Amino acid sequence: MEITIAQLLADFDSAGSGSDMYRFAERAYPLCRSLTGDGVRETLGLIQETLPLEIHEVPTGTPVLDWTVPKEWNLKRAWIKGPGGEILVDSRDHNLHVLGYSVPVRQKLSLEDLQEHLYSLEEQPDVIPYRTSYYRENWGFCLPHRLRETLPEGEYEVCVEATLDHGSLTYGEFFLPGESQQEVLLSTHCCHPSLANDNLSGLAVVSRLAAALGTVSRRRYSYRFVFVPGTIGSITWLAKNEDTTARVSHGLVAANLGDSGPFHYKKSRQGDAEIDRVVSLVLRESGRDYGVEDFVPFGYDERQYCSPGFDLPVGSLTRTPYGRYAEYHTSRDDLSLVQPKFLAGSLRTYLEVMAVLEGNTRALNLNPKGEPQLGRRGLYRAVGGEGSRERELALLWVLNLSDGSHSLLDVAERSGIPFATVRASADALLAAGLLRNLDPPEEV
């Protein structure tokens, strides 16, 4: 039996896929991810249970565009002992307690000297902030401001048991071939320790999207899924795949897909790329609240894909955008912020985007002089039914705009008729011999 994306959407098991993705997030949450190291490898290992990811290891010191692959960091444990000898802060309680990429240290010091290495949020006194020092060697601890305020004077002992050595940067990649060499790029970051929405939601949705598209019988496009540490990972991928970028026709950076917020789409730098129009249409057709925003050169890895030397048609589809929720980059971005139904809604929305991309072809009206007689060909329903008026209008719109220069996306945008109805009408007209598909590969 032929499986299509439309079929996957019709059969979509929201509860089942939501709980599957949530279970993945629960298992990956405790892992100590960073730009490099075993936490990333273990996380990609969990994804490999669903998807045969190819794992790439790029050695420390490798030049990548204007950057260099950093040393590999692995944390064993970090703690602060108070003047009484009791452990006050311990990375075993929460990965966020240690400043990411902290260099190894073990020393005794005064509270005053320790303060220079502590990070807390006065305005959110009960949370542990997420801080890193990737490109400047430093060590430090992150803790709730309320705890910080209770620290007594006296002699403290700190210990960061970690390695920061020559190693490699790890990323995962999965390629799904289609009829065309043109590719759809899906990218998500894999470098945040114990943050659920800002990290695990993207990994969950993109890995399940890849698995779902893998079951589809025919794909017009090829698909490439990359799971990379933020910034340096996408820069590394771009440096190693410059030839591939020429084949990227559409792309999305996925993040923040498990919270309760409405969808937000950040357009590609190009601003009017097909992906920009397709995502906008899918969100419009959803009937729910959503936001569409112009490109800005900050946020997630779209910054790299949309740098001027690449300028790829890559946007970013999130729920609440980068940095705009109170729990962002704190210990409150935990498994309670993410819910299975929101993860499932995100996966569904991504599938809807892919359905439109796959179905957006151009056709040529083979009977362009006057309207062809549809009733004679059985294309007008003799008796009206639910939606039949819309189907008839869709036939007329498709015939009218199928002049070789307009796509089915143009038809849906201009007519306001749902894309799926437009696509179904085009299929009926193709079957009746009134249209010819202009976008190779031809119908097989």
Residue with Cβ nearer Zn ion (233 or 313): 233
Cα three-residue angle 204-336-20, rounded to 5 degrees: 30
| Other CB atoms within 10 A of residue 371 CB | 12
DSSP state of 149: H
Query: Please, what is the minimum distance in Å from the beta carbon of residue 292 to Zn ion?
Result: 22
Residue with tokens 């090829």: 222
DSSP class per residue in 69-99: ---EEEEEEEEEE-TTS-EEEETTT-GGGBP
Tokens of 290: 């959503």
Smallest distance, Å, CB 319 to Zn ion? 14
Q: Which amino acid is at 315?
A: G
Q: Hey, which residues between 413 and 432 contact Zn ion (CB under 5 A)?
A: none
Q: Please, what is the minimum distance in Å from the beta carbon of residue 201 to Zn ion?
A: 11
Least Å from the CB of residue 328 to Zn ion: 7
- Which stretch, 100-108, 157-165, 197-205, 335-343, contacts Zn ion (CB under 5 A)? 197-205
Nearer of residues 202 and 372 to Zn ion, judged by Cβ: 202
| Cα–Cα distance for residue pair 114/143, rounded to 1 Å | 13
- For residues 232 and 363, which CB has a smaller minimum distance to Zn ion in the complex? 232
Q: Examine residue 38 and tell whether it contacts Zn ion (CB under 5 A).
A: no
CB of 46 to Zn ion, least distance (A): 19
Beta carbons of 305 and 291 less than 8 angstroms apart: no
> Do residues 23 and 34 lie in contact, with contact meaning Cβ atoms separated by under 8 Å?
no
Nearer to Zn ion, 237 or 419 (CB): 237
Q: Closest approach of Cβ 329 to Zn ion, in Å?
A: 6
From 72, 173, 198, 301, residue interacting with Zn ion (rule: CB under 5 A): 198
Q: Which amino acid is at 130?
A: Y
**Closer by beta carbon to Zn ion, 168 or else 199:** 199
Nearer to Zn ion, 173 or 198 (CB): 198
* The one segment of 102-110, 196-204, 308-316, 435-443 that binds Zn ion by CB under 5 A: 196-204
CA distance readout (Å), 260 to 96, 99, 256, 316: 23, 29, 10, 17
Indicate the residue among 198 and 327 with the shorter CB distance to Zn ion: 198
Smallest gap from Cβ 265 to Zn ion, in A, equals: 18
Q: Looking at 44-52, 64-72, 112-120, 194-202, which segment touches Zn ion (CB under 5 A)?
A: 194-202
Rounded to whole angstroms, how far apart are CA atoms 205 and 69? Answer: 27
| Coil/strand/helix, residue 30 | coil
- Cβ count within 10 A of residue 86: 8
The token duo for 219 is 């794909």
Residues that bind Zn ion (CB under 5 A): 198
